[in-house]
Structure 1
């Protein structure tokens, strides 16, 4: 689990709620009409902008990736592909047939190589996979950025609705309070959804997409060099550009030429 995402989300929500309840009760900040305006309006705008299947896929992807730390570290991948290169150098490409890995993309690359497909086809297939994964992340990010843009705007609409109701009932003092509550709380609800949930998740999805694309490009580069019969040590040196300078020694530890 990506504990920092969960901690950040819980901490952000908790800080706001604690501040809200410092000098008031929870009921003070609960306004069902205003909440219905923001949630219902944001959901409606999201459905107008995107298909329902796209929205549901975006939420599934967010739950699957934003709150889990399932990506391999580049240094671990470099060590693993270094082992693969040594196996191929010793036993040929069919020596990879018994190799199993938890990385689905690397496993697919290995299967394509073992099946005897030409290097051009292997590279093209892997490139298509990279493109499809990137597009899924991009669409999910757009959905959450759309929610982040819509929620405050719908909140402002709710504020205008509350102000109009208040101005139309100035002769009835008892109705001013509820109308003012809608006017103020809808803006609060919209900002809450956008700044504490939607936009941070969009940024997290973008970060995860960049990390996964980096790992996939690392794998493609390694497979290209393995198929060319490149020396394992040279492959490790080539792949060192995928990790930061202070981590470049880690993948090389214990490597043999």
Structure 2
């Protein structure tokens, strides 16, 4: 679980709500018509802009902003170096028995191709295609959440215009001015909250997770290709350690 995402959102929302409470209270900021315009309008537009299957997958992937088990780069490199040692000692076919220890499907696919004696160019092509399609899927999922960053404020502006029109049409009735003004102001407020305090942090964290996963795939690809070519395990380790900052580089052979 990503504690940073949860704690950050809780702090942000708690401070905003607290500022409302110590001001005029939360009650004046609750307006059901404004809520319907912004929330209902935003959800409807996002649904209209995306195929339903893409929308469902994109919204499900948003959970990665909160529920995510990071994979250690150092542990991955250590595993790949161990594979290189075993392949060097017992032959690359010996890695077939390691398949049950590989939780990542990308790594499993690459090692399986190498064990099967697939040509290096074919292995690289297959894995790079897998990598590129993963990036496209991530970008599509991030875009679904990103729609709310643009749509929610726009729906807030629409609500503001609706409220202003209603207010101007009822200037002679003082009792009608207050509710109309509430719609005019609160829709902008709601749209800003959704865009900046929900959609933006989630989409940003999804981008970070995507970059982290891409980095891991790059390490896997480099390791698989080095193992397939029969590189010395020390060389494999040096190649893979290049993906880490100098302060995090370790050697199993020291």
- Compute the TM-score of the two structures, normalised by the length of structure 1: 0.93
- Give ranges in structure 1 of 5+ residues lacking alignment: none
How far apart are the structure 2 equivalents of 1:25 and 1:255? Answer: 64
In the alignment, the residues of structure 1 paired with residue 242 and residue 4 of structure 2 have an alpha-carbon distance, to the nearest angstrom, of: 27
Measured after TM superposition, the shift of residue 147 of structure 1 is 0.9
> Does 1:195 pair with 2:192?
no
**Post-superposition offset of 1:138:** 0.4
Residue in 2 that maps onto 1:24: 24
Query: Using the alignment, how far apart are the partners of 1:21 and 1:231 within structure 2?
Result: 65
2:114 counterpart of 1:116: no
1:72-125 Cα offsets, whole Å, 9 max, x none, are 121111111000000000011111112112233212222222333332222222
Q: What residue in structure 2 maps to residue 211 of structure 1?
A: 212
- How far did 1:11 drift? 1.7
* 1:7 CA drift (Å): 1.2
Name the counterpart of 1:45: 45
2:34·2:186 contact (CA, 8 Å) conserved in 1?
yes
**2:70 is equivalent to residue 71 of structure 1:** yes
The residue number in structure 2 matching 1:233 is 234
Q: What's the TM-score once normalised by structure 2's chain length?
A: 0.94
Q: Counterpart of 2:83?
A: 84
Q: Distance in 1 between matches of 2:49 and 2:118?
A: 41
3-state SS of the aligned residue for 1:242?
coil
Segment drifting more, 223-232 vs 239-248: 239-248
Q: Which residue of structure 2 lines up, in the alignment, with residue 255 of structure 1?
A: 253
Q: Which residue of 2 aligns with 1:173?
A: 174
* Shift >3 Å, 4+ stretches: none
1:87-106 to 2 correspondence within 5 Å? 87-99=86-98, 100-106=101-107
Distance 1:109 1:155 in 2: 49
String of CA shifts for 1:30-85, please: whole Å, max 9, x gaps: 1110010001111122123222211111111111x221332312111111100000
**What RMSD in Å do the two structures reach over aligned CA positions?**
1.4
Structure 2 unmatched runs, 5+: none
Question: Alpha-carbon deviation of 1:168?
Answer: 0.7
Write the mapping of 1:92-171 to structure 2, written as runs, cut at 5 A.
92-99=91-98, 100-171=101-172
CA distance in 2, matches of 1:24, 1:46: 34
Q: Which residue is 2:187 aligned to?
A: 186
Inter-partner Cα distance in structure 1 for 2:67 and 2:88: 36
Give the CA deviation at 1:210: 0.8
**Number of residue pairs matched?**
252
- Alignment deviations for residues 125-161 of structure 1 (CA, whole Å, 9 cap, x no partner): 2112111111111011112222101101110110111
Q: How many angstroms apart in 2 are the aligned matches of 1:68 and 1:101?
A: 21
Following superposition, the deviation at residue 186 of structure 1 comes to 0.4
Which residue of structure 2 aligns with residue 55 of structure 1?
55
